[in-house]
Amino acid sequence: MAKKSQNEILAEQRKARKQYLELKKMQQEGAAPEREVHREAELKTPEEKAKHIWYYYKWGIISVVLAAVILAVSIRQCVTATKYDFGIVAFTYSSVSTESLEKLADYMAEQCEDINGDGEVNIEIINCSYDAKAASDAQYQTTVHTKVQAILSADHDKLIYITDSDGYKFIMGEENENDGLFTGEPYVITEEQRQKMIENEIYIPEGAQVSLRAVEGTWLEGKKGIDDIFAQSQKALENLKQY
């Protein structure tokens, strides 16, 4: 009888230990989330809630804020970007500052009409001028030449070209294979005009000349807005002649 009672006691002890271990395991697996739920529920002040949200969701918040900033900057750039009516390409073998070209373009834009309907006449300047005598980097020269060729073959809104004799020869080709590219012979800026420009802080190389691309019978014909672009570019050239 005593032996039976001892076995029962041992069995009860083993059962109690097993139940204790199972309970401990359940507590380890489920207690942390439960405590977190209780912790979140216990948050009362706005400061505590803000700290809790920032701790667990800060990367998501940062991502949303960055996306909003990028979107806002992109929209602002689109809204405030200058809309050009037509363009001028400067390609001389001596450097010309973009500032000088912009001042000259402002003068040429006088009496021109707004094409794109924004109430202003804005001329885009593409400055491909460089000092060929000082340029020792053949790759740079090739890059400039390639850019000019790309503009000639792709940009229909840039019909005015300011060149010197070397730049003009390059555009026309070694064997004058691009004959007919322009409407006629280039207009050479006179020395008297150049001196007046210098007085207005417009520094154009000696012997600079201006050409207007032909449209009729070329790939430019039929391009969107090309008639207006040609007409206003022609007017800008006439303005220059009166400088």
Residues 76 and 91 in one domain: no
Residues 116 and 164 in one domain: yes
The total number of structural domains that make up the chain: 3
Q: Is 34 exposed, middle or buried (0-12, 13-18, 19+ CB in 10 A)?
A: exposed
- Predicted structure pTM score: 0.69
Looking at the domain assignment, is residue 121 inside a domain? yes
Residues 77 and 90 in one domain: no
Looking at the domain assignment, is residue 2 inside a domain? yes
Helices 138-154 & 165-172 angle (0-180, nearest 10): 60
**pLDDT more than 70, % of the chain:** 80
pLDDT at 19: 66
Question: Higher confidence at residue 61 or residue 227?
Answer: 227
Residues 135 and 215 in one domain: yes
* Res. 34: pLDDT tops 80: no
pLDDT at 5: 58
Question: Higher confidence at residue 80 or residue 219?
Answer: 219
Residues 126 and 104 in one domain: yes
Structure confidence by residue, pLDDT tens digits, 140-195: 889 999 999 999 999 999 999 999 999 999 999 988 888 899 999 999 999 999 99
**pLDDT more than 90, % of the chain:** 57
* Res. 3: pLDDT tops 60: no
Structure confidence by residue, pLDDT tens digits, 44-88: 677 777 777 777 788 888 888 888 888 887 777 666 678 899 999
pLDDT at 79: 62
pLDDT at 169: 95
Q: How many helices (H) and strands (E) does the chain have?
A: 7, 5
Average pLDDT, the chain: 85
Residues 12 and 92 in one domain: no
Looking at the domain assignment, is residue 38 inside a domain? no
Looking at the domain assignment, is residue 36 inside a domain? no
Residues 71 and 25 in one domain: no
Q: Is 211 in contact with 165 (CB distance < 8 Å)?
A: no
Residues 16 and 92 in one domain: no
Give the E-state strand segments of 17-120 in sequence order.
86-91
pLDDT at 62: 86
Note down the domain range covering 69. Answer: 43-81
pLDDT at 1: 42
Structure confidence by residue, pLDDT tens digits, 92-136: 999 999 999 999 999 999 989 999 999 999 999 999 999 887 666
Residues 201 and 232 in one domain: yes
Looking at the domain assignment, is residue 194 inside a domain? yes
Question: What b-and-e string marks burial along 42-81, b requiring 16 or more CB atoms within 10 Å of the CB?
Answer: eeeeeeeeeeeeeeeeeeeeeeeeeeeeeeeeeeeeeeee
Strand-pair category, 123-127 with 187-188: unpaired
CATH of the domain at 185: 3.40.190
Strand-pair category, 86-91 with 123-127: parallel
